[in-house]
Amino acid sequence: GRADVVTGVGSGGAPHVKVFDGPTLGEVFSFFAFVDALRGGVSVRAGDVDGDGRADIVTGAGPGGAPHIKAFNGRDLSLLQSFFADDPNSRDGVFVGVANLAGDTRAEVVAGLAGRVKVFGSVAALLPYV
């Protein structure tokens, strides 16, 4: 009944993600979302992208990395999704968000890119790119 804490290293650090148990603050997971040689950090959000009723972990590569997004299962860290939000040759990174925009059982992934936003998920076709 209490939220867990999900953290990601900021710009200048490796794409290291840690998850802590809400009630005890004990470490639950610790992993690198992308190649640990990248030093642009990692954008991290939690939300139920697979519709199982539990929060999953969504990550975006930081500046210096491609606009790569990965979603990991919140129970066992299995990879749910891996895709590029924009041109894979870009090195601007991507800022991720998660929101249930359709009001169904799955949250959509929102990608903040240089000067625009893209939405991926069940309502992506309904929302214009900004």
CB neighbour burial string for 68-86, b if at least 16 within 10 angstroms, e if fewer: bbbbbbbeebeeeeeeebb
Q: Would you say the pTM of this structure is higher than 0.95?
A: no
Q: Nearest CA to 60 among 29, 98, 27, 3?
A: 98
Q: In what order do the strands lie in the sheet with 42-47?
A: 42-47, 56-61, 68-72, 79-84
Q: What is the pLDDT along the chain (130 residues), one digit of tens a residue?
A: 678 999 999 999 999 999 999 999 999 999 999 999 999 999 999 999 999 999 999 999 999 999 999 999 999 999 999 999 999 999 999 999 999 988 888 999 999 998 889 999 865 555 554 4
User: At which residue do the structure tokens 């975006």 appear?
Assistant: 60
Q: Give strand pairing partners of 80.
A: none
